[in-house]
Amino acid sequence: ETAQPLPTTVGEIASCVYHSLAQSYREAVTELEDLIGLPIKTIHIVGGGSQADYLNDLTARYTGKQVIVGPVEATALGNILSQMLKAGDFSTLEEARYAVLNSFPITKW
């Protein structure tokens, strides 16, 4: 589609994969914005994918959106926070989110 030469090295293949993913994210965000009729300002990336700094940077550049990454262990944290909310350790979901935001590294692109 873009008349680019085929990648031949491991680095070229990895670059192709990352750029293709970032392009797919841009297309998905554009489709979502068209569907909901509202702009999407921020993309949140959590879990293992949040460790791919190069991809996160490309995602921000391709989409033109702010990308917020982390925490890496989002699934486990979500489980723990749900239990803590149920046990009354946090009064509100906002309070639980604030605790995560101030307890784990979050990176913005």
Domains contained in the chain, number: 1
Question: Is residue 100 a part of any domain in this protein?
Answer: yes
CATH number of the domain to which 72 belongs: 3.30.420.40
**Is the residue at 2 inside a domain?**
no
Inside any domain, residue 4: no
pTM, two decimal places: 0.79
Domain span holding position 74: 10-108
Here the tokens at position 6 are: 């085929």
Residue 3, in any domain of the structure:
no
Within a domain: 91: yes
The answer to whether the CB of 72 falls within 8 A of the CB of 48 is yes
- Measuring CA to CA, which residue among 58, 69, 47 is closest to residue 25? 58
What is the per-residue pLDDT across 48-104, written as a single tens digit (0 to 9) for each? 888 999 999 999 999 999 999 988 898 999 999 999 999 999 999 999 999 998 998
pLDDT for 26-53, tens place per residue?
999 999 999 999 999 999 999 888 899 9
Residues whose CB is less than 8 angstroms from the CB of residue 48 and which lie 6 or more positions away in sequence, other chains included: 72
Q: Look at residue 5 and tell me if it is in a domain.
A: no
